[in-house]
Structure 1
Amino acid sequence: MIDTMLITAMVLFGISIAVALYRIIRGPSLPDRVISMDFIGVNLISAIAVFSVLFQTRAYLEVILILGILAFISTIALSKFIERGVIIERKRDS
């Protein structure tokens, strides 16, 4: 029973990632695309967690942590780029 629910969850995560990928390709604006990329990151983290439970292993938990950190940093960097045009501001002495 639990295996059926986990496989169903994996299928639904795959469908939601496909919908978000469509939103990235056809999104009307750049902020919509950034939100879709963040949504894909969250769904990938969830899918990897379900995959880890399905195969009863802890090997993928480090992957979840790294993917979470990378998704967070990339969302912040793209948001700053949209807002200011640069990611890292440097003060110049001139």
Structure 2
Amino acid sequence: MSNAESLMNIALIVAFVVVVVAQIMCMIRLWIGPSTGDRILALDTMVINAIGLIVLLGIAQGFTIYFEASMIIAMLGFVSTVAYARFVLRGDIIE
């Protein structure tokens, strides 16, 4: 194993740990969030962290299918966040 590969492995491990810690912190915010807006933001940030984990997994394993899956999850996360925020503000989703 060359020096560049070992540095890449260390960087991937550190990135996994950082994103997992961020995900746990978002789960705590989701659980104790005092307002509905805090919970919506926590859910949106959890989607972003999940996308980050999927991309890191794709980098670690070397498969490109993970990047395509992360794009689909990003689109679904955006639409669901907008729909949930609209529901909270207006009481309905479809006008």
TM-score, normalization: structure 1?
0.90
Residue number among 43, 47, 62 corresponding to 2:49 in the alignment: 43
Compute the displacement of 1:46 (Å). Answer: 1.2
Residue number among 55, 58, 67 corresponding to 1:61 in the alignment: 67
Normalized per residue, the structure richer in helix is 2
The higher relative CO (CA closer than 8 Å, separation ≥ 6) is in 1
Residue number among 66, 72, 75 corresponding to 2:81 in the alignment: 75
Amino acid at match of 2:67: L
Find the counterpart in structure 2 of residue 92 from structure 1: none
CA distance in 2, matches of 1:36, 1:10: 19
Compute the displacement of 1:49 (Å). Answer: 0.8
Q: CA-atom RMSD, angstroms? A: 0.8
CA distance in 2, matches of 1:43, 1:78: 19
4+ residue segments displaced more than 3 Å = none
5+ residue gaps, structure 2, are 1-6
Residue number among 2, 10, 15 corresponding to 2:8 in the alignment: 2
TM-score, normalization: structure 2?
0.89
Compute the displacement of 1:4 (Å). Answer: 0.7
CA distance in 2, matches of 1:34, 1:22: 13
Find the counterpart in structure 1 of residue 29 from structure 2: 23
CA distance in 2, matches of 1:28, 1:74: 21
Question: Percent identity of the aligned residues?
Answer: 31
Aligned length: 89
